[in-house]
Amino acid sequence: MKKFFTLIAVAVLAFAAQANELTVADGLSYSNVNPICGLFADTEGCLTQTVYPADMLTDMNGGNITAVTFYTLNWYYETYGGYTSSDATDFINFDGAKFQLALMEIDENGFTEEVAFVGATAVATCVPEFGDTEVTFVLDEPFAYNGKSLVAEVTCIETDGDWGQTYFFGAAAEDNCSYYYIPGGGDGGADAVGISKHMPMATFTFEPGGVTPPTPTEMTAAPTFNGYTEDGIHAYFVQINETEPSTIYYRVQSPDGEWTEWAEYTEVLAFTGNGKYRVEAYAVAPNKAASYEIAYEFVVSPFTGIEEMTADKAVANVRYFNMAGQEMQQANGLTIVVTTYTDGTTSSKKVMK
């Protein structure tokens, strides 16, 4: 019975080639085991499977795969230079077999026993020609990739010729990521089955799209408002506070009834023009729906100055309280200032220090 050969060296498993392409398993390994089973690819029913782990394919999440390309050892020589062999094993050394590519997503990262994964969807066929250094399957319909480990299955479905040994370029893997099955062992004997750690280099061509994230059902907690004035300044300030970590958006209706565009809230809002204002706001937390919109209305009144406001009145004492009602020695942060006059009247206002 013919023997299979795999040479494994240092491997770099994945890199992004360019927009809408992802090349994986670009290393220093080659094998006649897969993705097309070297010596016996001319045997109908010959099947190989390779598992590409999910963490290798994250750049393709949500994409639609449109083509898959595998590479022979001679592709490496032609691309990077160095030794170029006249040996026919370094490129496609067969003419006349049709191969079928099937894809499926699984949770596993490899094979724990010599049993194939069942259920792959046939997506493309290809007839490699003698002398080729690449094998490209162009998919009949795009295959939506949803983020799991991906099984690439190649099966010989027709044959008309005699396959000579061909090596495919790739990388070493930590787990048994490749499987092969050859009915009758390729020479009329017992079926040949095996697994290996060789991962054939592959380029996945894909289009953006694929999976649409589910619509969030949980709503973000609505933000809250805090309004205040500062002593001696003709202005009214509005602070919008998040109830949970989120991005807040707001808009303002001015006294003339006009609305501003929705904008992201970043700092306290200040109003100096006299009249009635309305502020509306909502919040959006990660992976949640937007909150309900909340509104805050207030009036900016003409400023007459402290002297005018306290004319004919003498201040008896001034006391400071925080928002919890606790008295403080002096204003600090958002503070309620209570002023008592000698005529017995009092006034209170909220200030920010």
Q: Are residues 109 and 256 in the same domain?
A: no
The pLDDT tens digits of the residues spanning 165-187 come to 788 889 988 889 999 888 876 66
Q: Rounded to an integer, what distance in angstroms lies between the CA atom of residue 318 and that of residue 334?
A: 16
Question: Cα dihedral sign for 101, 104, 105, 110?
Answer: negative
Any idea what the CATH number is for the domain that residue 121 is in?
A: 2.60.120
Is 1 among the domain residues? no
Is 78 among the domain residues? yes
Q: Rounded to an integer, what distance in angstroms lies between the CA atom of residue 253 and that of residue 295?
A: 10
The model's pTM: 0.57
One-letter amino acid identity for 56? M
3-state SS class at 43: coil
pLDDT recorded at residue 91: 77
The pLDDT tens digits of the residues spanning 310-351 come to 445 566 777 777 766 678 887 777 777 777 766 666 666 776
Q: Answer with the one of 207, 238, 271 that is the final residue of a domain.
A: 207
Q: Are residues 98 and 221 in the same domain?
A: no
Q: Answer with the one of 207, 233, 265 that is the final residue of a domain.
A: 207
Number of Cβ within 10 Å of residue 152's Cβ equals 25
Q: Are residues 194 and 231 in the same domain?
A: no
pLDDT recorded at residue 8: 41
Q: Answer with the one of 182, 207, 232 that is the final residue of a domain.
A: 207
Q: Are residues 176 and 48 in the same domain?
A: yes
Say whether the peptide bond before residue 35 is cis (omega within 30 degrees of 0). yes
pLDDT recorded at residue 288: 92
Question: Cα dihedral sign for 140, 203, 181, 133?
Answer: positive
Give me the phi and psi of 307, to 5 degrees please. -60, -45
pLDDT recorded at residue 56: 94
Q: Are residues 181 and 98 in the same domain?
A: yes
Q: Are residues 81 and 175 in the same domain?
A: yes
Residue 321 burial by Cβ neighbours in a 10 Å radius (0-12, 13-18, 19+):
middle
| Residue appearing with tokens 């290393």 | 27
Residues of the chain with pLDDT under 50: 1-13, 15-18, 88, 210-211, 304-311
Q: Rounded to an integer, what distance in angstroms lies between the CA atom of residue 35 and that of residue 51?
A: 11
Is 270 among the domain residues? yes
Q: Are residues 31 and 146 in the same domain?
A: yes
Q: Rounded to an integer, what distance in angstroms lies between the CA atom of residue 328 and that of residue 320?
A: 5
262 backbone φψ class: left, alpha, beta (φ>0; ψ -120 to 50): beta
Q: Are residues 174 and 292 in the same domain?
A: no
Give me the phi and psi of 240, to 5 degrees please. -110, 120
pLDDT recorded at residue 119: 93
Number of Cβ within 10 Å of residue 168's Cβ equals 26
pLDDT recorded at residue 60: 92
Q: Are residues 92 and 42 in the same domain?
A: yes
| Residue appearing with tokens 């003409």 | 302
Domain of 351 in residue numbering reads as 312-353
| Residue appearing with tokens 């805090």 | 226
**In sequence order, what are the residues at sequence separation of 6 or more whose Cβ sits closer than 8 angstroms to the Cβ of residue 140?**
123, 124
Q: Rounded to an integer, what distance in angstroms lies between the CA atom of residue 296 and that of residue 261?
A: 17
Total domains in the chain come to 3
Q: Rounded to an integer, what distance in angstroms lies between the CA atom of residue 212 and that of residue 218?
A: 18
Q: Are residues 242 and 262 in the same domain?
A: yes
3-state SS class at 167: coil
What is the length of the chain? 353
Q: Are residues 231 and 187 in the same domain?
A: no
Q: Are residues 218 and 187 in the same domain?
A: no
